[in-house]
Amino acid sequence: MIFGIGTDVVEVSRIHESIEKFGDTFARRILSDSEFESYLKSSTQSRFLAKRFAAKEAFAKALGTGFRSPVRFQNIIVGHDDLGKPILEFDEELKDFLKQKNILSQHISISDEKNIATAFVVLET
C-alpha cells in the first residue's frame, strides 16, 4: 500500500548560485560523505547537487515529516544500482524510523533537462 508520494523541482541555476556564494559548505549541508566525494569528482557539480537536493526533498515530502529529526539531508543517500537506476539508502537512525512507520520499500525517479532537476518518490508499506 502507498504510504506517501513526494515530488520536487529545482532550478539548477539557483543551486549554481548557492555553490558560487557558499562553496563546498553548501554542498556539505546537502550531501552525505560518500555523495560529497562523488560531487567533487563531477564535471557538472550544480546539476549533480540539484538532482540530489530534489530527490531528498521529494523523499521528505513522501514521508510527510519534512526535514526534522531523524530526517536530515545527510542521512538520505542517493545512489544507483548496477544498471544506473537511482536508489535511496539511509543511515541506521533513519532506517529504524522507517521501520517504525512500517515503510518497506521506496521508488525514486530523477530527471534533469537544461535548467531543471526533478525527483519523484513513492514510499510503500
What does the pLDDT average to over 89-112?
Answer: 97
Provide the domain limits for residue 36: 2-124
Nearest to 34 by CA among 73, 78, 84: 78
| Residue partners of 50: CB distance under 8 A and separation at least 6 | 10, 11, 12, 15, 112, 117
pLDDT at position 64, please? 96
Mean model confidence pLDDT for the chain: 97
For the chain, what is the domain count? Answer: 1
Query: CATH code at 99?
Result: 3.90.470.20
- Scan for cell 562523488, then name that residue: 38
What does the pLDDT average to over 115-125?
Answer: 99
* 122 residue type, one letter: V
What does the pLDDT average to over 45-66?
Answer: 98
C-alpha cell recorded at residue 63: 514521508
Please write the tens of the pLDDT for every residue from 101-113: 999 999 999 999 9
What does the pLDDT average to over 94-100?
Answer: 97
Please tell me the pTM assigned to this model: 0.95
pLDDT at position 19, please? 97
| Strand pairing class (76-80; 116-124) | unpaired
What does the pLDDT average to over 66-85?
Answer: 96
| Residue partners of 9: CB distance under 8 A and separation at least 6 | 54, 116, 117, 118
